[in-house]
Structure 1
Amino acid sequence: MTLSRKHYVPVIKWKQGEQKALEALSPALKESIIPVIEIPPIDWDFENEVPKKTIDEHLQNFGDTLLRCWSQGAFIDLLYIDANERMMTGQHPLAYILREARSRKNPLIPITCSIYDSHYNTEVVSANVVDELGAAIRITEKDFDSLQLTIDNLLEAIQLNPDQVDLIVDYGYADPNHIIRTSFFITGLINSIPYLNKWRNLILCGTGFPKDLSGVRADTIGQIERSEWILWKRMMQGKTAIREPIFGDYGISNPVPFEGDPRVINMSANIRYTAEDKYIIFKGKITKRFGASQYHDLADQVVQHPEYSGRNFSEGDLYIYEVSQSNDGPGNATNWRKAGTNHHLTYVASELSTLFLP
């Protein structure tokens, strides 16, 4: 699988909102998107101080859900699953997921990184024996000062050469206030990657989306720079990197999964809307106190905004329009994650398809 700079590699947290956002994409857009599917952590029961589910329950129906939502090929990463977890059968969770996907003729490319143990990497090796899809290596900030050693150890562990591996350079959160500094750092990092021109694909991934929206006041429309997009464009247009990376991001969320206690967290109604070089945040009040009906007004604010893409742009945009007209909604967190993510994926894929046209 060789990607071009018009391909898009979004990191998708495998929850219902993001799943449905993928499912609702147009067939044409799906051809240009290769998602990184992250299995989220098992929800925690804060009252009883135990996990809410077993690993079997957590991964139940994975294969069927994947087939329904995405059958175009994808990466898979178990970053947030404890290394000691095993299925009731004793099977490693990665082996289970890969088998579920394979049995539906929808094989996945496993991702490994420096924190995974030998049991995990053994499953990566086994997957390539069966599927012959190679693997991916994900390097993050903690690896940046020892790239050669980290990469050589991982290549040895998964028994592959760089030309059989997709290298994902994941720099995580990029503060929009430090774009120029980060741009120089990322360019230097890419240019120092071992075996730079031998990797099957080189993918650059990060985000400017913060951990929370506390920086946006209630009942206002705020903006957050899409630092990941600005950084990538600077690199591509300035031709500063020896090898051009494929673009990846985290959609409309931060890399760190939200794990707060819902009993004490006061979430505000908000719509996250991607536009040129920025995320526009339409923020209401605390939903526990003021209810979900405020989404009708927030949706109307989106529709009236000059950077609204129009109801025919994506399924997410159509949903926003219908809620603004009170023909649907007001919706819940899952509905709005689906709408915002579906719009975002459509927007970015469309940007990439036209950015470098003559």
Structure 2
Amino acid sequence: MPIHHTSHPPYIPVIKWQKAEQKALSAVAEELTDHVWPCIEVRGVTYHELLMSEVYHYWKGTVLVDYADPSGRLIGRRMSEFESFLTVAGDKNYPIIPVIDSRDALELSESMQRLLSTFETVVIRLRLEGFALGQDHLTRAEKACEILGQLNVEPRLMVDLGECPATWSPESLRSFADALGKLKAFGFQTVHLTSGAYPESLVEVANMAEYDRNDWKLWKELNAAVPEIGLGYSDYGILSPKWTEEILKKIAKKVALRYTRAKDWLILKATGKRKQDSIDLSVILVNQYAEDFKGGDFSLGDRQMAIRADDSVPDRNKKSGATAHLTEAWIHHIAFVIKEQY
């Protein structure tokens, strides 16, 4: 359970199953494991045995697994691979929570229903575009909840907005909060709000930028509007919901540090991608932004940044590179959400 909101469900960061994210999960402090349920999005149609071994290697706690394609559906080989994955997960009794899109939940085969019935909990992912939560979404969610109930499975719900709205009116917030209350009343054990506010690309950043964490701001306002439902927090962390592998290639061309703060992300960007660029940015972060920097003991990610800024440490002992920076940013982000906010 969360540290600051003890009656709420664990924090769910949506994780693209890439090397940087895998390393980040393995580096999350052990005492934080029970406070976070990562939701792994399987980018390619990964062989189920390989995925299972990777999950078990990088994460020892409860994990959500979503095999859907970028549109959110279990199409083609994805359904058969997901069924194979669930078979293995059930046999090994791993703490896996399957994730099913609300549209797929209404079209489950008999074999998939049998597999899901062997799990204690299943998460329904209701994908929206902003606050567009209409009667058809409510009806679909209610039917999905009923189906899981018939399978004697504990139903949970992720309401996924994708990209978080940049602004909202008091009226639209109230209307959406009321809709969340209706969803919870259908019988879902928990309801999480999932959204992402991180920019799609940092190409436009010259040296420094700050981006508002509207995803956290929105959750706080909705949680205050409907405190009785115990709204769970879920985000896309330091990646945009629109993230693609092509963007990753652009990321690799320049060194950038991403640092989660209470209300925004601080971005520091160099003109090149040499180790010295990484060191210089770390010195700026640790010294010029000393009031924001949490120190090396806050997380392994912060420790790596502090080490790079330390003149007494040989450069050969300082990690750098696009993957390293993504990893440490993720580690810090997860630690910040759990320790400081949620």
- Take 1:24 and 1:260, find their aligned partners in 2: how far apart are those partners? 26
* SS of residue in 2 equivalent to 1:346: helix
Question: Which of 190, 209, 220 is the matching residue for 1:233?
Answer: 220
Q: Which amino acid aligns with 1:138?
A: R
Task: Give yes or no for the alignment of 1:38 onto 2:25.
Answer: no
1:350 aligned partner: 339
1:47 aligned partner: none
Shift of 1:281: 0.8
* SS of residue in 2 equivalent to 1:294: helix
2:17 aligned partner: 14
- Take 1:34 and 1:285, find their aligned partners in 2: how far apart are those partners? 36
1:249-279 deviations in Å (ceiling 9; x for gaps):
1111111231328788884321111011111
- Take 2:334 and 2:185, find their aligned partners in 1: how far apart are those partners? 28
2:189 aligned partner: 200
Task: Give yes or no for the alignment of 1:148 onto 2:138.
Answer: yes
Tell me if structure 2 keeps the 8 A contact 1:83–1:116. no
1:231-259 deviations in Å (ceiling 9; x for gaps):
122233x3445523111111111112313
Tell me if structure 1 keeps the 8 A contact 2:105–2:124. no
The CA RMSD measured in Å over matched residues stands at 3.2
- Take 2:188 and 2:141, find their aligned partners in 1: how far apart are those partners? 11
The total of aligned residue pairs comes to: 327
- Take 2:19 and 2:250, find their aligned partners in 1: how far apart are those partners? 23
Shift of 1:310: 0.3
- Take 1:339 and 1:249, find their aligned partners in 2: how far apart are those partners? 17
- Take 1:105 and 1:62, find their aligned partners in 2: how far apart are those partners? 15
1:294 aligned partner: 277
Inter-CA distance 27–276: structure 2 relative to 1 (3 Å threshold): same
* SS of residue in 1 equivalent to 2:36: coil
* SS of residue in 2 equivalent to 1:136: strand
- Take 1:203 and 1:299, find their aligned partners in 2: how far apart are those partners? 34
- Take 1:20 and 1:179, find their aligned partners in 2: how far apart are those partners? 39
- Take 1:243 and 1:117, find their aligned partners in 2: how far apart are those partners? 23
Q: Among the aligned pairs, what percent are the same residue? A: 21
1:287-342 deviations in Å (ceiling 9; x for gaps):
4xxx4541111122221212001011000001111222335345222211110000
- Take 1:215 and 1:123, find their aligned partners in 2: how far apart are those partners? 48
Q: Which amino acid aligns with 2:117?
A: V
Question: Which of 246, 262, 266 is the matching residue for 1:280?
Answer: 266
Tell me if structure 1 keeps the 8 A contact 2:117–2:152. no
Task: Give yes or no for the alignment of 1:243 onto 2:229.
Answer: yes
* SS of residue in 2 equivalent to 1:112: strand
1:84 aligned partner: 76
1:62-94 deviations in Å (ceiling 9; x for gaps):
2222112212112111122761116xxxx8111
* SS of residue in 2 equivalent to 1:342: helix
- Take 2:277 and 2:114, find their aligned partners in 1: how far apart are those partners? 51
Shift of 1:185: 5.2
Gaps of 5+ in 1: 43-54, 354-358
Shift of 1:149: 2.5
TM score, norm. by length of structure 2? 0.83
Inter-CA distance 265–120: structure 2 relative to 1 (3 Å threshold): farther
- Take 2:234 and 2:277, find their aligned partners in 1: how far apart are those partners? 33
Question: Which of 215, 235, 238 is the matching residue for 1:252?
Answer: 238
Q: Which amino acid aligns with 1:167?
A: L
- Take 1:266 and 1:247, find their aligned partners in 2: how far apart are those partners? 30
2:123 aligned partner: 136
Task: Give yes or no for the alignment of 1:268 onto 2:260.
Answer: no
Tell me if structure 2 keeps the 8 A contact 1:124–1:158. no
Inter-CA distance 327–141: structure 2 relative to 1 (3 Å threshold): same
TM score, norm. by length of structure 1? 0.80
Tell me if structure 2 keeps the 8 A contact 1:162–1:199. no
Shift of 1:152: 3.8
* Deviates further, 105-114 or 172-181: 172-181
Gaps of 5+ in 2: none
- Take 2:320 and 2:258, find their aligned partners in 1: how far apart are those partners? 14
2:154 aligned partner: 164
1:221 aligned partner: 208
Tell me if structure 2 keeps the 8 A contact 1:190–1:241. no
- Take 2:107 and 2:187, find their aligned partners in 1: how far apart are those partners? 27
